[in-house]
Amino acid sequence: METDAQQLVNAQGESLTVEQAVVNLQQTEDTGLRYYAAWWLGRFRVTQPDAVDALIQALDDESDRAPDGGYPLRRNAARALGKLGQSRAVAPLIQCLACDDYYVRESAAQALGALGDDRAIPSLVNLLAGGVEAAVTVEGKPHLVQPYNAILEALGCLGAQLAVEEIRPFLSHSVAQVQNAAARAMYQLTGDDSYCQRLVERLQEPNLQLRRSAMMDLGAIGYLPAAEPIAATLAENSLKLIALQGVLEAHLQDIRFPDADLSPEAQRVLALMDDLL
């Protein structure tokens, strides 16, 4: 949307055009400008070919390095490409799954899940090698050896039925968020409601972060029976509304709205959303 760009420019006090963003991304003097340009192109869904080319090129960047040895620009470029729906980004993103920066692998896995191309499945499944036993924390880091959440969620989105047996053990991983991601993928791959019930139970957890993440998972998979529990959980209205939007829109697509009329279920979710505004 045009108005989107205008609004952001005002809020940030920075003005960018698509042409300028591409130029900023291609220059190598100012890493800050490159980083911002990559984000900006994704945020405004710029799909013109030279922008996509520049983002794909940025996946190989060597100049922008974080103190921990990571690749900030690659991370942002991968995230942006996940929003642009361009299938020629799939192969370069698959390459990123082998990057030694954890956060590049995470962004690439999320992007590949969003792009919905099943060519990514084998490489994603490879990252689950060693199963739960191998899925331990990296010493001195705040993360596990692989971005398991992103990998499991992507496999669920990609409909990787063949990976069900590799995914199932992660339901009992020691990290609650990983369990959630596995439950979410298992539901998407098997259609078995009991996996969603685990997520619904999480909405009663004393820990706010866990309630938030379960809520967003239920919204992402569009589990209609979770609408009331989402509305009732103790969390910000803003997040509840996003989760309920996910639930509602999955259902609307099922019933083929707007060609079909609103179902009683859709009206029920809308009423819950009205109360949270």
Q: Does 235 bind other proteins (CB under 8 A)?
A: yes
When binding is defined by CB under 8 A, the residue of 117, 249, 254, 265 that contacts other proteins is: 249
Nearer Cβ to other proteins (105/212): 212
Q: Which stretch binds other proteins (CB under 8 A): 27-35, 51-59, 68-76, 246-254?
A: 246-254
Q: Does 128 bind other proteins (CB under 8 A)?
A: no
CB 37 within 8 A of CB 72: no
Tokens of 174: 């020691």
Q: How many angstroms separate the CA atoms of 71 and 58, rounded? A: 10
Nearest alpha carbon to residue 216 among 191, 190, 185, 247: 247
| Nearest-approach distance from CB 262 to other proteins, in angstroms | 6
Q: How many angstroms separate the CA atoms of 146 and 136, rounded? A: 9
Cα R_g (the chain), whole angstroms? 20
Q: Does 7 bind other proteins (CB under 8 A)?
A: yes
Which residues from 201-230 bind other proteins, rule CB under 8 A?
A: 206, 208
CB 126 within 8 A of CB 155: no
Q: Calculate the dihedral angle through the C-alpha atoms of 225, 226, 230, 232, rounding to the nearest 10 degrees.
A: 50
| Nearest-approach distance from CB 103 to other proteins, in angstroms | 27
The DSSP bridge partners found for residue 137 are 144
Q: Does 264 bind other proteins (CB under 8 A)?
A: no
| Nearest-approach distance from CB 39 to other proteins, in angstroms | 17
Q: Which residues bind other proteins (CB under 8 A)?
A: 1, 3-4, 7-8, 11, 206, 208, 234-238, 241-242, 245, 248-249, 252-253, 257-258, 262, 266-267, 270, 273-274, 277
